[in-house]
Amino acid sequence: MTKKYTIHHAGTKPDSFDLLGLEIEEVPDGFILVAPRRELSQVSLVNLHGKPLMKFHVKDFQGFDWTLFVDEMNPAKMKGTWCNGDDCVPGSSAESDSWTASGSGAGEPGDDETQSASAGYHPH
């Protein structure tokens, strides 16, 4: 079974609810962002020396272009920020908020950490 994270909280902005239920799935060459039955974006480079660890760009999902930034990741959860719009930089007019996803599935062989957990909202 692959490692999978499901977004359960995406903030309180009007467009936040569009991200609920999306999954980030680990694949042999990186991670993919998946809507139920549809791959949205793939990333293979992971930044190990700072934030964001990775970012997903999604074109035309729920009427917007999105960027999801992954800032923290462990076997039990992932969390980060999101924005939608063409200009996803601090101070832009793009809507943005934070998101949290819980992890499930197999981790690395011999990994004794929790294999499934639920995550709640943690304001920054």
Q: Where are the domains of the chain?
A: 4-104
Residues 103, 116: Cα–Cα separation, whole Å:
5
Select from 102, 52, 54, 57 the least CA-distant residue to 75. Answer: 102
Residues 15, 22: Cα–Cα separation, whole Å:
14
User: In Å, how far from its chain's centre is CA 71?
Assistant: 9
Q: Check whether 121 has a pLDDT greater than 50.
A: no
pLDDT digits (tens, 9 = 90+) for 70-114: 999 888 999 999 998 767 776 778 888 999 999 887 655 444 333
Q: 52: pLDDT confidence band, cut at 50, 70 and 90?
A: confident
**pLDDT at 85 (0 to 100):** 79
- With a threshold of 0.85, does the pTM exceed it? no
